[in-house]
Structure 1
Amino acid sequence: MKAFVVEKVGEDEFVSDVQDIKTPKCEENEVVIKVTYSSLNYKDALSAMGNPGITKNFPHVTGIDVAGTVYESTSPIFKVGERVLVTGYDMGMNSNGGHAQFVKIPASWVARIPDSVSDKEIMTFGTAGLTAALSVNELIENGIKPESGDILVTGATGGVGSIAIAILSKLGYTITAISGKKERVEFLKKIGANEVISREEFEEESTKPMLSEKYSGVIDTVGGKILANALKQVKYDGIVTCCGLTSSFELNTNVFPFILRGVRLIGIDSVECKLEKKQAAWEKLASRWKINSLNTIVNEISLYEIKSAYELLLSGKAVGRYVVKIKE
């Protein structure tokens, strides 16, 4: 079968390309998925670079998302021909991922694709869409309503940010987006942002422990100074979700937003969260949260275009979502 393979050729040297490798076979309580679509995520790009925090086993097939049909199954839960998807867990990290024509997966990682969405649509969402949905759900579950006030979305042109904006817009929220890409202001407004603030402006250091209340909720995808400054501007009883670190893994803040305004900071993990929680999020994305701007957000590529797309992701130049169409 064809697969996008990363190989370690030196102490800190890695090469990647499309190769012919052996098609996997089912073992106990596993399924082999015939892949139709996968997607690209920042974690995939790090894996392709040999980041030891992501992948330690080489040669390695990247791809933490996959959609397709069950080709072979030793599980009583899944039958051959069923449409399924997998996001997260160890797939594409230290076990081979979805950038291949076939992928072998433990049955406990597999979810069914809702009938109302195509394989391409579910992969346009992918891990980014799942993370966005989990983030939006935390705002709603904690009482943040459209009338509560503006929602701030950071890293707005990325996969999580752009899908979060589109979902929030459909649900009637007013959205302020932060982006470092001035040329993408119209794109952000097209998918639902009401206002766009430059990253440089928002990232400016403030020595004040608190700032004026502006946002009822925040969906943060970047961490660092942007998250620290956002916390200072959240309204009383506001909710902030955190799911990424593309700006920085560090957070230098103070306790005042938490003890004076009752702000809650909630971490979002879409990798190891329970399968039931993932399935519930997929059902929402396929129905009442299904967004109309998916075609605006998505870039479709082939296995042979993955390497150049990784370069865009790592350089911060990627916009929206990248889906990988897997040909037979």
Structure 2
Amino acid sequence: MDSFKALLIEERDGKVVNGFVRLNESQLDAGDVTIRVAYSSVNYKDALAATGAGKIIRRFPCVGGIDLSGTVIASGDTRFKPGDAVIATSFDIGVAHHGGYAEIARVPGDWVVPLPAGLSLYDAMALGTAGFTAALGVVRMEENGLRPDKGPVIVTGATGGVGSLAVDMLAKVGYHVVALTGKESESEYLRSLGAAEIMLRQSIDLTKIRPLDRGRWAGAVDNLGGDVLAWIASTMEQGGTIASIGLAASHKLNTTVMPFILRGVSLLGIDSGYIREPYRRGVWQRLATDLRPPHLAAMSRRIAFADLPAIFDEYIAGHAKGRVVVEVAGG
């Protein structure tokens, strides 16, 4: 392939713009593993990067796409050989290193994971960073003692990519899942993923958060941050555990130490970006086995590579639901 198609994010006259260009392999960043990209996906972070709505991109120009799955073309890393099906997510991909929105990608071998048995290249991107992050949150909470018999688990931002996948995973392995959403119209969708209860964000008075409220949750997967996370902390049961994953509402947290020192609540920061082996591969193995979301196909939709730029505004406006898989080359 003399040249290949890529979605390049650039800064022009102080504004962030994105558009399709033709690149060649000499223009790719350094790395041990060169991959023919089959699929990528769209995450909120991708939309922020591509539109400039968030200070995500750390260098310009940069090919977007924080996820990719595909087949190895060439490798200087003995762990991988041509023809291997692989996944690459996180680290600097798509923000400071050319990413998955290109027909060819080159990345360091330490950023690459073999495609686990039981997942297709499409499945891997229907999961993508969102699925990896949700699963990492579940694994970390389990390590902290969470089990289905401990009590309900609340998932905030439940209709988003991470939220939907977390609901599906947790319900599959036996948790009583309460889905918190601001979108009443999506209640049936969340029930179809296994949510036992739907709670509307509008039902919570976030102007009157008590230092300690009635304990309700054994676990929580929070994608919002801000006052919602403060409310969750105040309503955790004794020994409860919170996986802090996102900041869609706010990066600020105004709370007290009381839930942590009087109820032994644990607040776990979930950093899916830089966690390394063997932990990374282990989480992907869980995603291919017991944590594989049973409704993954139903919550995912496929778009053509050419249609990618038009999808970003949907995320910025908060209208995204489930997962969007980008068919870069297919496979």
TM-score, scaled to structure 1? 0.96
The amino acid across from 2:273 in the alignment is V
The 8 Å contact of residues 54 and 94 in structure 1, kept in 2 or not, is answered as no
Note closer, same or farther for the CA distance 1:134–1:207 as it changes in structure 2 (3 Å cut): closer
Counterpart-to-counterpart distance in 1, 2:238 and 2:58: 44
Match of 1:49 in 2: 51
Question: CA 1:136/1:203 → structure 2, altered by over 3 Å: closer, same or farther?
Answer: farther
Contact 2:168 2:194 in 1 (8 A): yes
Indicate whether 1:237 and 2:206 are aligned: no
Which residue among 258, 261, 264 is the counterpart of 1:259? 261
Residue 123 (structure 2) aligns with: 121
Residue in 2 that maps onto 1:3 = 6
Structure 1 stretch displaced more, 169-178 or 192-201: 192-201
Unaligned 5+ residue runs, structure 2? none
Contact 2:209-2:234 at 8 Å conserved across structures: no
Which of 78, 84, 92 matches 2:86? 84
Whether 1:151 and 2:153 are equivalent positions in the alignment is yes
Show structure 1 runs of 4+ deviating over 6 A: 25-28
| Change beyond 3 A, Cα 1:52–1:297 | closer
2:58 is the alignment partner of 1:61: no
- 1:110 corresponds, among 109, 112, 128, to 112
User: Which of 176, 186, 190 is residue 178 of structure 2 equivalent to?
Assistant: 176
- Amino acid corresponding to residue 171 of structure 1 in structure 2: V
Matched, 1:167 2:169: yes
**Alpha-carbon separation, structure 2, partners of 1:169 and 1:295:** 16
Residues 200-251 of structure 1: per-residue CA shift (max 9 Å, x gap): 2235322422110111111111100110001111000110110110000000
Q: Please give the alpha-carbon distance, in whole angstroms, between the structure 1 residues aligned to 2:318 and 2:74.
A: 38
Q: Indicate how the Cα distance of structure 1 residues 111 and 203 shifts in structure 2: closer, same or farther if over 3 A, else same.
A: farther
Deviates more, 1:290-299 or 1:246-255: 290-299
For 2:53 and 2:164, the matched residues in 1 are separated by: 26
Q: Is 2:51–2:312's contact at 8 Å kept on the other side of the alignment?
A: no
Determine the C-alpha separation between the residues in 2 that align with 1:71 and 1:153.
40
Q: Which residue of 2 aligns with 1:138?
A: 140
User: Does the C-alpha gap of structure 1 residues 26 and 99 become closer, same or farther in structure 2, counting only changes over 3 Å?
Assistant: closer
- Greater displacement, 47-56 / 259-268: 47-56
2:203 to 184, 201, 204: 201
Partner amino acid, structure 2, of 1:9: R
SS in 2 for 1:294: coil
Structure 2 counterpart of 1:35: 37
Looking at structure 2, the residues matched to 270 and 87 of structure 1 have their Cα atoms a distance apart, in angstroms, of: 9
Q: 1:167 to 1:52 in 2, by over 3 A?
A: closer
The CA deviation at 1:318 is 0.1
> C-alpha distance in 1, partners of 2:182/2:87?
32
Question: Aligned letter for 1:149?
Answer: G
Please give the secondary structure, in 2, of the residue aligned with 1:230.
helix
8 Å CA contact retained: 2:39, 2:325: yes
Structure 1 residues 52 and 318: alpha-carbon distance in aligned structure 2, compared to 1, 3 A threshold: closer
Question: Distance between the aligned counterparts of 2:141 and 2:205, measured in 1?
Answer: 23
**How many residues of Structure 1 are paired with residues of Structure 2 in the alignment?**
327
Identity of aligned residues (%): 37
Q: In the superposition, relative to structure 1, how do residues 226 and 29 fare at CA in structure 2: closer, same or farther (>3 Å)?
A: closer
Distance change >3 Å, CA 72–CA 26, structure 1 → 2: farther
Q: Runs of 5+ in structure 1 lacking a partner? A: none
The one-character-per-residue Cα deviations of 1:273-312 (angstroms, maximum 9, x if unpaired) are 1131110000011012212201111121122222221111
From 297, 301, 304, give the equivalent of 1:302: 304
- Identify if the C-alpha distance between structure 1 residues 206 and 267 changes in structure 2 by more than 3 Å, giving closer, same or farther: same
- Counterpart residue number, 2:230: 228
Counterpart for residue 187 of structure 2: 185
Q: Distance between the aligned counterparts of 2:205 and 2:62, measured in 1?
A: 37
Shift of 1:19: 2.1
> Structure 2 CA distance, aligned partners of 1:222 and 1:52?
16
Code of the residue aligned with 2:310 in structure 1: it is S
Give the Cα–Cα distance (whole angstroms) in 2 for the partners of residues 254 and 291 of structure 1: 35
RMSD after superposition: 1.6
Residue 29 of structure 1, CA deviation: 5.7
Residue 7 of structure 1 deviates from its aligned partner by: 2.2
Contact persistence 1:17–1:304 (CA under 8 A): no
User: Quick one: distance in 2 between partners of 1:207 and 1:178?
Assistant: 17
